[in-house]
Amino acid sequence: MCIVSASFAQQKALTNTDVINMVKGGLAESVVISAIQVNPANYDVSPAALLALKKAGVTQKEQAAMLAAMKAAVAAPQTVAPAPNTSAAESQPANPASGWRMPTVSVLQGGSTQQLPLEKTQLAQTKAKPTSMSSLASDSVVAQALQGGINTATYSVASKVSSPVGGATVQQAGGLFSNVMAHRKPNVTYVWGVPNPSSASVFQNYLPTFAVNFAGAPGINPDDYEPAIVKLTPAQNTCRIVGATQGKENAQASPAADWEIYSSFLEERVSVGAQKVKSGEYKVTPRSPLLPGEYGLVLRPISKTKKFSGADVARGQGDGFVFGAVWSFQIAAAQ
């Protein structure tokens, strides 16, 4: 596992050449746009330069993203250098191009708050059909694939600072998916799991209240999502299963937003009361006391027919990043 927590201020501004190289390198349009949105901008958007971009294969949407980034960069105020005794978290600016921030989840306890670390799920494939969470948890193929940590990336460092860290500044080690099939099949089961057999965040309160903020999450429309709590299923003392769905075996390679991940998603969702404060901001409380066990707060599409790009899911970009995020916690048994 590799975690890179470089701040936005240390990132090199993207240029026309960088965008052209990404396009010619075969990156999906959605990936190129996400990179434009989450990185500093230094583009030449003169008429001649725009014509050159078009000839190089840069799409109209990609050019529009570049123009929006430059417009925001020009309008943004200049960042003042921090005093020597200013902490790194206080001195790092917001993204001038889009103002994005990593999503945060905090548990409210009296007058204080405790922020939960943001984790990225692992994704495995299996030939078994997603009939129940317990059957997936007992599938040794799934457990071994998730235990291998082939595509693990944690955002716990980024979620603890106020500056935007993520996307291109958080790298994943190894391959993106574990291929556990002996023979090619048109459909497989994709299983989302969170590393480790138990969460480090342990609560004695059976009715915790959470403050959730994903208003500035990069590359998404916050009005497409709502927070939810799901029960996590421990899998052979290696990880915890979040949920699963069936899809084409090459779904993760497609750049097109045509994968209805959530239309038949298997998960154990907890009934909650979600109070919407404003777009992308909620307060969430279970409707009844939680039994002892493992849980996760997740972000789910309001519409079950929302479509995802498999490539975005694989790379943890945009909608794929949000859908693969989880804030795990444990409800302790009464002493």
pLDDT in tens, the chain (335 residues): 233 333 333 457 889 999 998 898 888 888 888 888 888 888 888 878 888 899 999 999 999 888 888 877 665 444 333 444 433 333 333 444 446 788 999 999 777 889 999 998 988 888 888 788 888 877 766 666 665 543 333 333 233 333 333 332 222 222 233 333 334 446 889 999 998 899 999 998 899 999 999 998 888 999 999 999 999 999 888 889 999 998 888 777 778 889 999 999 999 999 999 999 999 999 999 999 999 999 999 999 999 999 999 888 888 889 999 999 999 999 998 76
pTM above 0.75, yes or no: no
Across the chain, which distance is largest between two alpha carbons, in Å?
A: 71
How many CA atoms lie within 13 Å of 214's alpha carbon, on the beta-carbon side?
Answer: 31
The whole-number pLDDT of residue 9 equals: 38
Position 310: which residue type?
A: G
Check: CB of residue 307 under 8 Å from CB of residue 257: yes
Apex 308 CA angle, 315 and 168, nearest 5 = 25
Structure confidence at residue 143 (pLDDT): 63
d(CA 143, CA 180): 11
pLDDT of residue 11: 54
Give the integer Cα–Cα distance in Å for 115 and 294. 17
Q: What is residue 39's DSSP assignment?
A: S
Dihedral over Cα of 117, 209, 244, 305: its sign: negative
Q: Residue 108: which residues within 8 A CB-CB, separation 6 or more? A: 208, 209, 210, 211, 283
Distance CA 58, CA 190 (A): 32
The per-residue pLDDT for 215 is: 93
Of 85, 20, 25, 31, nearest to 58 by C-alpha is: 20
**Quick check: 101 and 217 in contact, CB under 8 A?**
yes
Block residue for tokens 């989450």: 38
Predicted pLDDT of residue 335 = 67
